[in-house]
């Protein structure tokens, strides 16, 4: 990788580092696990079992990427025991109820997982007697969305219309409280803990079969030669390949560990302005990459509210972290479709190949 901190690359920094990942069985967690494996980190994951079969985590299992604990982050004592036994250098917290539409069905559970689960993890970190950097992954949807053509910055007002978005805004408040109360940078020499939050855009890539996500829905319909049903074709989102966000997380973890006083805050990771695309453009590009397919607008305004316009300002990450997107939205879609076209036996090696290809850009 080309990103450097005082002459140290991301690859050399994470080599043999102990990295604890919550949510390692999920879509982004699995890609993070694979990326860390490719650069020689020691990992321990803590998460529920995958909900869907055929996701990336299943294909990575034969590679024995690290220690895996299948458990619930709401079980506070279990989580603390596993974390303290591992003694991590870096923690990436991704475990969550991540779906907007599901949050309308299970609102209390969504808040419990996303807010209380985060508090459980951070309380466990207070009992860790060693230097540690913590990255809490939230979402681009934490901002009070005015449905205007503006780029949201890290210091904009937090909010949340739906329970998922609101729960993630609450997660940001929990993280900020722990950062001030227990990991205050003015007392860093005493506790040696640092904490950042990251807000990524709509992340796409191979191995995601989550319900009510656009690319998995597209793939499911294309595989079965069915017309793709699109709920919100004109909704605009910040599309990016999962490796863009993962590399941002890794870079921030590295810088936070080396220089906690300057990086213990929030960062956006998203595409360049031109890659904030309407849903219909993503669908049409996916069909083009697949080679065939049709779609139909099935907008239904009686369905639960979902934001129609959301854009992120990534200038802070570009300036402070020297991070920038390497793929356009069209390239991200093509990389995603290429993954789903692979035979099952090739998907693990193809994943590692895409990671290697991305790091070489």
Query: Domain locations in the chain?
Result: 4-204+238-274+311-327
| Sign of the CA dihedral with 238 first, then 219, 244, and 133 last | positive
On whether the CB atoms of residues 204 and 240 are closer than 8 A, the answer is yes
Q: Is 237 helix (H, G, I), strand (E, B) or coil?
A: strand
Bridge partners (DSSP) of residue 193 are 132
CATH superfamily of 4-204+238-274+311-327: NAD(P)-binding Rossmann-like Domain (3.40.50.720)
* Cβ contact 102:113 at 8 Å: no
Which tokens in the block code for residue 107? 């609102």
Is residue 238 a contact partner of residue 309, using CB atoms and an 8 Å limit?
no
Q: Each residue of 83-132: pLDDT tens digit?
A: 999 999 999 999 999 888 899 999 999 999 999 999 999 999 999 999 99
What is the spatial distance between Cα 122 and Cα 128, in angstroms, rounded to a whole number? 10
Q: Are strands 8-9 and 295-297 parallel, antiparallel or unpaired?
A: unpaired
Nearest Cα to Cα of residue 303 among 223, 196, 231: 231
Predicted confidence (pLDDT) per residue in 135-182, tens digit: 999 999 999 988 788 899 999 999 989 999 999 999 999 999 999 999
Q: Which three-class secondary structure state does DSSP give residue 326?
A: coil
- Average pLDDT across each block of 10 residues of the chain; the chain has 361 residues. List them in order: 57 96 97 96 96 90 89 98 98 94 94 98 98 97 88 94 95 98 96 97 92 91 95 90 97 96 96 93 96 91 66 95 96 97 96 95 90
Using CA atoms of 109, 123, 248, 330 in order, give the dihedral in degrees to the nearest 10. 0
For helices 214-223 and 279-290, what crossing angle results, to 10°? 40
- pLDDT at residue 1, rounded to an integer: 42
Supply the pTM of this predicted model. Answer: 0.94
């Amino acid at each position: 990788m080309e990103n450097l901190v005082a002459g140290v690359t991301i690859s050399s920094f994470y080599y043999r580092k102990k990295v604890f990942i919550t949510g390692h069985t999920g879509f982004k967690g699995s890609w993070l696990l694979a990326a860390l494996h490719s650069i020689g980190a020691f990992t321990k994951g803590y998460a529920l079992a995958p909900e869907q079969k055929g996701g990336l985590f299943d294909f990575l299992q034969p590679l024995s990427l690290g220690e895996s604990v299948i458990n619930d982050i709401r079980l506070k004592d279990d989580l603390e025991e596993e974390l303290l036994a591992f003694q991590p250098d870096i923690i990436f917290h991704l475990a969550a109820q991540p779906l907007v539409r599901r949050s309308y069905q299970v609102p209390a559970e969504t808040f419990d997982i996303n807010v209380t689960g985060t508090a459980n993890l951070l309380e466990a970190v207070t009992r860790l007697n060693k230097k540690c950097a913590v990255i809490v992954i939230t979402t681009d949807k934490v901002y009070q969305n005015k449905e205007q053509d503006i780029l949201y910055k890290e210091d904009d007002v937090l909010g949340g219309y739906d329970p998922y978005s609101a729960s993630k805004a609450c997660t940001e408040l929990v993280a900020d409280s722990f950062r001030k109360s227990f990991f205050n940078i003015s007392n860093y020499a005493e506790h040696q803990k640092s904490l950042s939050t990251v807000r990524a855009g709509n992340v796409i890539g191979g191995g995601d079969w989550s319900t009510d996500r656009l690319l998995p829905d597209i793939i499911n319909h294309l595989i079965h030669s069915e017309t793709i049903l699109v709920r919100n074709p004109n909704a605009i989102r910040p599309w990016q390949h999962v490796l863009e966000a993962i590399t941002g997380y890794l870079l921030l973890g590295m810088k936070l560990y080396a220089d906690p006083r300057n990086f213990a805050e929030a960062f956006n990771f998203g595409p360049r302005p031109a890659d904030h695309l309407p849903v219909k453009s993503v669908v049409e590009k996916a069909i083009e990459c697949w080679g065939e397919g049709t779609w139909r607008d099935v907008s239904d305004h009686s369905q639960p509210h979902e934001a129609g316009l959301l854009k992120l300002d990534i200038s802070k990450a570009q300036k402070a972290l020297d991070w920038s997107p390497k793929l356009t939205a069209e390239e991200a879609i093509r990389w995603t479709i290429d993954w789903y076209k692979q035979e099952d036996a090739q998907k693990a090696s193809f994943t590692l190949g895409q990671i290697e290809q991305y790091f070489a850009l």
